[in-house]
Chains A and B, each alone.
Chain A
Amino acid sequence: MNNLLWLIPVLPFAGFLILALAGKHLSRVWVALIGAGSVSLSAIIVPIIGIGFLSHPPATGNYSQTLWTWMQVGDFNPKITLFLDALSLVFVFVITFIGALIHIYSAGFMASDKDYSRFFACMNLFVFSMLLLVLADNLLLLYLGWEGVGLCSYLLIGFWYENPVNGYAARKAFIITRIGDTAMAIGLFVIFYQFGTLAIPDILTKAPVLWHQGASIATITALLLLAGGVGKSAQLPLQTWLPDAMAGPSPVSALIHAATMVTAGVYLISRMHIIFQLSPIAQMIVAVIGAATLFIAGFSALTQYDIKRVLAYSTISQIGYMFLALGVGAWAAAIFHFMIHAFFKALLFLAAGAVIEALHHEHNIFKMGGLKNKLPVIFWTFLIGSASLAALPLISAGFYSKDQILWYAWAAEGGNPLLWFIGLLGAFITAVYTTRMMILVFWGEAKTEIGHRPGKLMTVPLIVLAFFSLFAGFIELPHNFGHFRLFSDLLQQVLPETILKAGMNTELQFQILALLSTLGGIYLAYVFYYKQPQRIEKLKQSRFVMNLYLFWFSGWGFDKLYNTLIVKPIVFMANVNKNDVVDKLYQGVTFITIRLYQSLSFTQSGSLRWYIMGLVIGAIIILSMQIML
C-alpha cells in the first residue's frame, strides 16, 4: 500500500492543473467536484496507507519513495523523495482530512463567487504544497513546499483582488514570511556544508555524531531554522502579517491561516528536533518566543472587534503554546495540540464564516448578537469550538492538549515556573476572550438581520469538526487520569519522550489551577459582557485603560514600529533614488564634455582677423622661443 504514497500529493496537484488550464470551460458543479474531490480522494487514501503503515511498520520506522533526482551537481544531489513516518503521517492526516472538509464547505460558501474555479485551483495547489512540505525527505524539497504554501497563501489572501487592501495584506504576508524563509535558506547552506547533504534522515543521524552537546554551530543552525518557523507560524517578532491575512475568504483562513500552513514552523522544529536538542540555548529561545507570543497575542485578541481578527490573534496565541511545548521538550504534546487546534480552529473559522455570510458580510462582533436561536447548528458547533479553545475542563479536547502543555511547561526538563505561569495566564485570557466573543455573537439582542442561511454543504463539515473537537482529546489522557497514551506512543517512533524533572509526579494540583483559571476567565467575561455591561463603560472612562486598550488593539504597536523603522526608510530611499544616482555620474561626464566643447567653440568666432592674430602671436612666440633658447 505504501507505494501509493505519491498519489496523496499528486491528486490535489492534478486537480490544480485541470482547474488552472480548463477551469473557464467547466461548469460550477464540475469545478466543485474536481476541487473538493481530488482532496477528498487523498483524504481517503491517507487512512488506507496509514493503517498499512501502522499495522506493518517498516523496519526503519519510516518509508520513503524516490520519484526522480531533482538535480545533481557534484556532491549536491537533492532528490524528489517522499518520506513517511509517524510525524508526517499525523500532519498528512490533518491536512487531507481538514482540507477535504474545508473544500466541501467552500463548495457551498463560495457558490456565488465569480472566480469559483480560481479559488479551487489555488486551494488545491495549497494542499499539494503543504503535503509536499510535510512529506519531503530533504530540506530543499521541504523548502519548495514551504515557499509553495507561501505563494498560495498570498494568492488566497488577495483572492478578492479588486480591493487594494486585500492586495496589501497579501503582500505583507508574503514578504514577512519571506524574511524568515531567507534566514532558513541560509540555514540550509550551513547544514549542507556541515553534513554534505540536505536529506533529513542523514542530517538527523549525523548531527549527534558531528556536533557535541551545546555546540555553537548547532545553536546557529537551530536559530536560522527557527527564524523560518517563526515567520511561517506568525510568532514574535514576525507575527504581524497574520491578523491582516484575514482579508481572505473564511475557508482560506480556516485551512491556511489556522489549521495547516501556520503550523509549518511547528512541523519544521519537531522534524529537526535533534538539532534543537543539541542546543539548549536555541530550545530555550523557542520556549521564550512561544510564551511571549501567546501572552501578547492573547491580550490583543481581547480587544479586537472583528470576529476573524479575534480568531487570528487566538491562532497566534495557540501556536505560541505549541512553540512553548517544543521549547521545553514536550514534542508529542506540541503535535497533539497542533492536531486538536487544527480541528477546533478550523471549526471556529468555518462557523465564523457562516455567521459573517448570514449577516451580510458583517465582521463586527458588536453588531452581531442574538444568533443563538436563529442559527442553532452554527451556535452549537461554535460553542463546542469555543469550549475547546478555552480548554473547558474534561469535556473538550482542547483541555487535554493544553493541560498537557501547561504541565510540561513546569515539569519537563526545559520547563520552569515562569513559563508555566505565563501559560496559565494565557489560558485565563483565552477563556476571557473566547467567552466575550461567544456572548457578543450569540447572546443579547439581534442587531443585524439574517440574510442567508448556510446549506448542508456547509453545516455537515461543521458537525464533523465539532465531533472531533469534542472527542479527539480522548486519545491522549493525563498521567493521573487513565494514562491512555495512544498519540504519544505513535509519535514515540520519531520524537523523543519528554523527560520530566526529578520529583515531579503530582499533576493534580496543576490541573486544578488550570481548571480554575479557565473557569475564572469565563466567569470574568460573563460578568463584564453579560451580567453587568455597564462596568465596561466605566472602565472605558479611565484614560489609562483606554490607552492600554488601543495599544493592545494595534497588536502591541509592532506594525507601527516596523513601519517607521524599516518600511518607511527603505521606501524613502528607493523613491529618492528613483532616477539612479549612478546615472548622475555619467550625466556629469556628458555635462563636462558639453561645457568643454562650448568653451573651445568660443574661439571659433568666424572672424578671420582673430585667426590671423592668433597665427601671428603663435609665430612670434615660437620665433622668440627659438631665439631665446
Chain B
Amino acid sequence: MKSSIEIVMLLAGLLFVLGIAGVIIRKNIIFMLLSVEVMLNASGLAFVAAGSRWAQPDGQVMFIFILAMAAAEVSIGLALILQIYHQHKSLDIDKLKEMKG
C-alpha cells in the first residue's frame, strides 16, 4: 500500500507540473483554461489518494468541492473568454495586455 500512494502522488505532481507548464507556455486562453483544469484535477487526485491512505472521508469531500468549483470556474471562465473574443477578436493572451504599469 505504501508504495502505491507514492506512485499516485507522483502522478498527481506530474499532472500539476504539466498543467503549470501549459498555463505558462500556451498563448491561447482556452488552452490556458484547460491547463488550469488539469492542475485542479491533479490536486483532486492527490486529495483522493490521501483520503484513501488514511481512511478519512475528508479527501473525497474536498474532491467533490473541487469538482463543483471547477464547474463554476469553467462556466465563468468560458463566459469571460467569449466576451474577450467579442471585444478583441483574438484569444492571444499576449495581445490582451492592458494592465501594464
Contacts and interface: CB of A to CB of B under 8 A. Distances in A.
A316 B20 CA distance: 97
Contacts of B20: 612, 616
A503 interface: no
Interface string A596-615: 00000110111111001100
Interface in B79-101: 93-94, 97-101
Contacts of B98: 606
B24 A606 contact: no
Nearest to B21: A616
A612 B98 CA distance: 17
Nearest to A598: B101
B101 A608 contact: no
B99 A604 contact: yes
A601 B99 CA distance: 10
B101 A613 contact: no
B23 interface: yes
Contact of A612 (B23, B94, B100): B23
Contact of B97 (A601, A607, A612, A613): A607
A602 B101 CA distance: 6
A606 B99 contact: yes
Contact of A609 (B23, B99, B100, B101): B23
Interface residues of B, number: 11
B76 to A, nearest CB: 16
Nearest to A605: B100
Contacts of A602: 101
Specify the main secondary structure of chain A where it touches its partner: helix
A607 B94 contact: yes
Given A612-B20, A612-B24, A601 B101 contact: yes
A604 B101 CA distance: 5
Nearest to A609: B24
B43 to A, nearest CB: 13
A606 B97 CA distance: 5
A608 B93 CA distance: 7
Contacts of B99: 604, 606
A607 B92 CA distance: 11
Nearest to A613: B24
Interface in A583-629: 601-602, 604-609, 612-613, 616
Contacts of A607: 93-94, 97
Interface string A10-38: 00000000000000000000000000000
A626 to B, nearest CB: 15
Contacts of A608: 32, 93
B35 to A, nearest CB: 10
Nearest to B20: A616
B96 to A, nearest CB: 8
Interface string B14-32: 0000001001100000001
B1 to A, nearest CB: 25
Nearest to A603: B101
Interface in B49-101: 93-94, 97-101
Nearest to A608: B93
Q: Which of A604, A605, A609 has the most CB of B within 10 A?
A: A609
Interface in A513-556: none
Contacts of A601: 101
B93 A609 contact: yes
A607 B23 CA distance: 12
A601 B101 CA distance: 5
A602 B93 CA distance: 18
A605 B97 contact: yes
Nearest to B100: A606
Contacts of B24: 609, 612-613, 616
A235 B93 CA distance: 87
Contacts of A605: 97, 100
Contacts of B32: 608
Nearest to B35: A612
B44 to A, nearest CB: 19
B87 to A, nearest CB: 16
B22 to A, nearest CB: 10
A612 B100 CA distance: 15
A619 to B, nearest CB: 9
Nearest to B26: A609
Contacts of B93: 607-609
Nearest to A597: B101
B42 to A, nearest CB: 14
Contacts of B101: 601-602, 604, 606
Contact of A604 (B23, B94, B100): B100
A608 B91 CA distance: 13
A268 to B, nearest CB: 72
A616 B35 CA distance: 14
Contacts of B94: 607, 609
A414 B24 CA distance: 103
A424 B97 CA distance: 98
Contacts of A612: 20, 23-24
A605 B98 CA distance: 9
A170 to B, nearest CB: 60
Contacts of A609: 23-24, 93-94
Q: Which of B23, B93, B101 has the most CB of A within 10 A?
A: B101
Contacts of B100: 604-606
A60 B29 CA distance: 110
A451 B71 CA distance: 113
Nearest to B97: A606
A421 B48 CA distance: 123
Nearest to B93: A608
Given A608-B32, A609-B94, 9 more contacts: A602-B101, A604-B101, A605-B97, A605-B100, A606-B100, A606-B101, A607-B93, A608-B93, A613-B24
Pairs of residues from A and B, 5 with the lowest C-beta to C-beta distance, nearest first: A606-B97, A606-B100, A601-B101, A606-B99, A609-B24
13 contacts: A602-B101, A604-B99, A604-B100, A604-B101, A605-B100, A606-B98, A606-B99, A606-B100, A606-B101, A607-B97, A612-B24, A613-B24, A616-B20
